[in-house]
Structure 1
Amino acid sequence: MHYAISDIHGCIKTLKELIKTIEAVSSDNTYYFLGDYIDRGPDSKSVLDYLIDLKHSKQAIHIIRGNHEEMMLSTYLNNNIEDYLLWMNNGASQTLKNYNVPNGIYHLTGYIPKKYIEFIESMPYFIETEKFILVHAGINFNSDNPFNDKISMIWTREENYNSDLTKGKFIIHGHTQLPKKQILKNIENKNKILCIDSGCVYKQIKEYGYLSALNLDTLELISTENIDF
């Protein structure tokens, strides 16, 4: 089976529980992770460690870049206050605590091991299969070259569809939180653009607080309630 999972945001216990639920049904799976593994939640480092271990396992694992990984990478590589403040305004503080980075420090070399940076650098912005285009935030078909518009791929909140450019494929993405019942309704309506971010890290908000996986073979949604908070 093939599964897409998005927006884990440091919730390692919930991720492991979701994978356990999936593996109980089928152990021969291909996973597509759609970005935002870090920030806001309690243990971003452990999520990255888990994904790195999965990448080295026998299973087929595809790991796409999200805007939070991009912010971490930019802060590390550029060593400037602007990138640091943008990241901090988007939930970086817990991630920096995971790496024992003191408050106010944005020169991250020496705190974050290079293997994590190289891991993020290896993440593509999107993956295209026979039936799906998998991306973190979406594809901007108003762009002159939608499949080179990397900023939109990790940041856009717009949903537009071009059947000629997509060749009729589904676009599967995260980034924008939706109540689980809305995701299920969109699947039932056979929408060509399906957001699967059910707001795992926002457990305190009614109708959110689930980590979801979409079975790409059946379009069944499997969800686990957040157990990290």
Structure 2
Amino acid sequence: MSLTYVIPDIHGRFDLLGEALHQVHAHAAGNGGTLVMLGDYVDKGPDSSKVIARLRRGMPDGWTFVPLKGNHDVMMIAAWRDPAQMTRWLEHGGDAVLESYGGDPFIIPEVDIAWLEALPLMYVDAHRVYVHAGLDPGVAREAQPESTLLWKRYPKGDSAGFEGRHVVHGHNSFAQGPELYEGRTNLDTRAWRTGRLVTGVFDDALPGGPVDFLVIQLPAQEP
């Protein structure tokens, strides 16, 4: 059985990322597979620098590793490249990122920014589309605006997929999630705050939603 594991928004919680990767390896039992990360590696949580360092190392042989880009990652890139964007980023959790790097934006290595910048916005397999935020069903896949892929909010109860594929996304945090619909799965459980991270497990041979979940509950982060 070929499986795809999907980890949603980490937001600087290196502790959750480490536990999730341990769970994924244990569940795969040495068989490898595909690991998709849904973006938002930075902001809000305490260890964004360590999260980026770990993800840059990738996965062992036998794994296909697909880290996607999230809107918070894009805000960090924009602030690093243009000081005029710094205030907006800090207001959305960038202050925690600066602390994780030592408090000075000029300490953030360019290689980290370049890695984030090069990440893809979407991953597609035979049955599913994986994206940080969502897709516009009225727009062809190759014409989807970056703003939609990074910032879309699905209306509550919207169950549509995309071009016959199931959509797997994060971004729209729901602490009691994941949210499961016929055409899409939202895995974002606001893990950076709640301490509860849910990894979706998908069977590559079967269409539709997840066949299993790997759930972690660590201490919540104080507001």
1:8 is matched with 10
1:183 and 1:195 in contact (8 A); partners too? yes
How far apart are the structure 1 equivalents of 2:15 and 2:215?
Answer: 13
CA-CA distance at 1:202 after TM superposition: 1.8
How far apart are the structure 1 equivalents of 2:183 and 2:39?
Answer: 20
2:178 is matched with 183
Letter in 2 for 1:14: L
1:222 is matched with 214
1:49 is matched with 53
Q: 1:18 aligns with which of 12, 17, 20?
A: 20
- CA offsets 1:26-84 (integer angstroms, 9 cap, x no match): 131310000011111110110001100125x423110100011000011111232xx11
SS in 1 for 2:66: strand
2:107 is matched with 111
Alignment of 1:91-106 (within 5 A): 91-102=93-104
What's the C-alpha RMSD, in Å, of the aligned pairs? 2.2
How far apart are the structure 1 equivalents of 2:50 and 2:33?
Answer: 22
How far apart are the structure 2 equivalents of 1:147 and 1:210?
Answer: 34
CA-CA distance at 1:121 after TM superposition: 1.4
Which has the larger share of strand? Answer: 2
- CA offsets 1:65-107 (integer angstroms, 9 cap, x no match): 0011000011111232xx11211111111101111234xxxxx
2:43 and 2:93 in contact (8 A); partners too? yes
Taking a change above 3 Å as real, the CA distance of residues 140 and 215 of structure 1, as seen in their structure-2 partners, is same
Aligned length: 208
Return 5+ residue gaps in structure 1 as ranges.
Answer: 103-107, 204-208
1:150 is matched with 146
2:6 and 2:200 in contact (8 A); partners too? yes
Q: Find out whether 1:63 has 2:71 as its counterpart.
A: no
SS in 1 for 2:185: strand
Percent sequence identity is 24
Taking a change above 3 Å as real, the CA distance of residues 178 and 146 of structure 1, as seen in their structure-2 partners, is farther
1:4 and 1:33 in contact (8 A); partners too? yes
Q: 1:73 aligns with which of 70, 77, 83?
A: 77
2:137 and 2:163 in contact (8 A); partners too? no
SS in 2 for 1:119: helix
1:88 is matched with 90
Alignment of 1:162-177 (within 5 A): 166-177=162-173
Return 5+ residue gaps in structure 2 as ranges.
Answer: 204-209
TM-score (norm 1): 0.82
Letter in 2 for 1:211: L
1:12 and 1:228 in contact (8 A); partners too? no
